Amino acid sequence: MAEIGMDLNRFILEEERKHPQATGSLSIALTAIETATKIIASHVRQAGLVDILGKTGKVNVQGEEVQKLDELANEIMIEHLSDSGEFFALSSEEMEEPIFPEKGKNGKYIISFDPLDGSSNIDVNVSIGTIFSIHKKVKATVEDFFQEGYKQVAAGYVIYGSSTMLVYSTGNGVNGFTLDPSVGTFLLSHPNMKIPEKGKIYSINEANAKKWIDKGLVDFIESLKEKGYTTRYIGSMVADVHRTLIKGGIFAYPADKKNPNGKLRLLYEASPMAFLINQAGGMATTGKEDILKVKPENIHQRVPVFLGSKTEIQELLTYIS
């Protein structure tokens, strides 16, 4: 097992050495993500001091108002991922269509990312994050984004909170790294992360309960209350899932009358988080099927999301259709 305090770059190289056939491409790709997110973290720390708070006045492809820091984070990710030369195509929650970087013509991977998840919380200083999902290039067309989640070669997130943490998996467990601001390096702080088999917390926006399409979900939530579960809901998926990964329990963003297909994006949010939770020993479902088995039909597809400890997810499935 890797030692606590090992820096991320060394960890990536050590993992690469376990695979004699590795070319180093994925290591370079992950390092590009590391660099981009460290720059984003520095801007997040200054958000109240410089003019990057508030809205741009634009609306993104999702129909959401774009925050200034959202736009900046997207530009930083595009710049560093494109310059790495390892990504044939990039798809962002903030862009209507994928882009194909000139330097990535021979790249082996494609990447989907949410540059700043939870951006509506920026102005009130609540934890936000970056989520990413990497697949292999197969057809060298936009169809490469329509691969199931179980085919991800890597997925992860960075949470910008009381400390900045990068949590990721390449399909061999989940590891968490905390940014040491004094040296600007991510250091291994949470090796081989495992979600508890059972938790005591549920995370869902109960204000929408009357709009939920599946009424069995109401009964499930009531059953959790009767068992003494507590509710914690931040409203930033990265923060809510991060807590769920560490503490156990369940995070849910179900379909409702306003969002009959769910609200969270499959490529940028649901699939990478499901990959991590699965690698940590938990489960993730749309309520009807394993999220990792959902084949995307478009790059901005939405799905209902339920993920967390096995005990809670298995019980949930007895309540909902």
pLDDT at 165: 98
- Give, rounded to a whole angstrom, the gap between the first and last alpha carbons of the chain: 41
pLDDT at 65: 59
Both structure tokens of 2: 């890797």
What does the angle CA 119 – CA 121 – CA 123 come to, to the nearest 5 degrees?
100
Q: Which CATH superfamily is domain 8-190 in?
A: Fructose-1,6-Bisphosphatase, subunit A, domain 1 (3.30.540.10)
- What sign results for the dihedral spanned by CA atoms 146, 168, 79, 140? negative
Question: 312 and 249 in contact (C-beta within 8 Å)?
Answer: yes
Where do the domains of the chain lie? Answer: 8-190, 201-316
pLDDT at 17: 86
pLDDT at 63: 56
pLDDT at 67: 65
Task: Assess whether the region 8-190 and the region 201-316 belong to the same CATH fold.
Answer: no
Taking only the tens place, the pLDDT of each residue in 191-220 is 999 999 999 999 999 999 999 999 999 999
**CATH number for region 201-316:** 3.40.190.80
Mean pLDDT, 10 residues at a time, the chain of 321 residues: 90 88 91 97 74 54 65 95 98 95 97 91 86 97 97 97 96 97 95 98 97 95 98 96 98 96 97 98 98 97 98 97 67
Tell me the H-state helices in 46-187: 68-84
pLDDT at 144: 98
